[in-house]
Structure 1
Amino acid sequence: MNRSRAALVIIPLALLTGCGGSTGQADPAGRTTGITGSPSSGVASTAGTGSAPPDAQDPPAAQDSPGARTPQGRTSAPQAPPTGPEPPTSTAAVRVERHPDEPPLVTGVRFAEHGGYDRVVIDFRGDLPGYTVDWVSELVQDGSGEPIDVEGGAYLQVTMLPANAHTESGTPTLTGGPILQAGLGNVRSVVKTGDFEAVVGVGIVLERRAGFRVTEQKQPNRLVIDVAH
Structure 2
Amino acid sequence: MRPSSPSGVRPSPFRVAVQLAGIAALAVLTACGPASQTAFPGGPPASRSASEDPREESPEDPSEDADRGPSGGSTDSGGSTSTSTSEVDVERDDMDPAIVTSVRYAAHDTYDRVVIDLDGDVPGYNVKWVDEFVQDGSGRRIDVRGGAYLQITLFPAHAHDENGVPTWKGGPVYPADLGNLTDVVRTGDFEGRVGVGLVLARQAAFQIEEQGGPNRLVLDVAH
TM-score by length of structure 2 reads 0.73
Contact 2:62 2:105 in 1 (8 A): no
- The answer to whether structure 1 residue 36 and structure 2 residue 47 are counterparts is yes
Of 128, 149, 153 in structure 1, the residue corresponding to residue 147 of structure 2 is: 153
Identical positions, percent: 49
When residues 149 and 192 of structure 1 are mapped into structure 2, their CA distance, relative to the original with a 3 A threshold, is same
Q: State the match for 2:171 in structure 1.
A: 177
- CA displacement at 1:144 relative to structure 2: 1.1
- CA displacement at 1:87 relative to structure 2: 2.9
- The answer to whether structure 1 residue 85 and structure 2 residue 85 are counterparts is no
Q: Which consecutive residues of structure 2, in runs of 5 or more, have no partner in the other structure?
A: 39-43, 73-83
Secondary structure of 1:17's counterpart equals helix
Aligned 1:1-229 pairs, distance under 5 A: 1=1, 4-5=2-3, 16-20=19-23, 21-22=25-26, 36-39=47-50, 52=56, 84-89=67-72, 90-229=84-223
What letter matches 2:68 in structure 1?
P
When residues 40 and 116 of structure 1 are mapped into structure 2, their CA distance, relative to the original with a 3 A threshold, is farther
Deviations 1:53-79 (A, max 9, x none): 59699xxxxxxxxxxxxxxxxxxxxxx
When residues 14 and 182 of structure 1 are mapped into structure 2, their CA distance, relative to the original with a 3 A threshold, is closer
Find the aligned partners of 2:159 and 2:187 in 1 and give their Cα distance: 11
Moved more, 122-131 or 97-106: 97-106
Contact 1:100 1:127 in 2 (8 A): no
**Number of corresponding residues:** 191
Q: State the match for 1:77 in structure 2.
A: none
Deviations 1:150-182 (A, max 9, x none): 000000000111111111111111101110000
- CA displacement at 1:17 relative to structure 2: 1.4
Contact 1:124 1:220 in 2 (8 A): yes
- CA displacement at 1:38 relative to structure 2: 1.6
Secondary structure of 1:149's counterpart equals coil
Find the aligned partners of 1:91 and 1:164 in 2 and give their Cα distance: 26
Secondary structure of 2:207's counterpart equals strand
Find the aligned partners of 1:191 and 1:56 in 2 and give their Cα distance: 17
Contact 1:88 1:117 in 2 (8 A): no
TM-score by length of structure 1 reads 0.72
Find the aligned partners of 2:137 and 2:165 in 1 and give their Cα distance: 19
Secondary structure of 2:158's counterpart equals coil
Contact 1:88 1:227 in 2 (8 A): no
What letter matches 1:36 in structure 2?
S
Root mean square deviation, CA, Å: 3.4
Find the aligned partners of 2:105 and 2:129 in 1 and give their Cα distance: 19
When residues 17 and 203 of structure 1 are mapped into structure 2, their CA distance, relative to the original with a 3 A threshold, is same
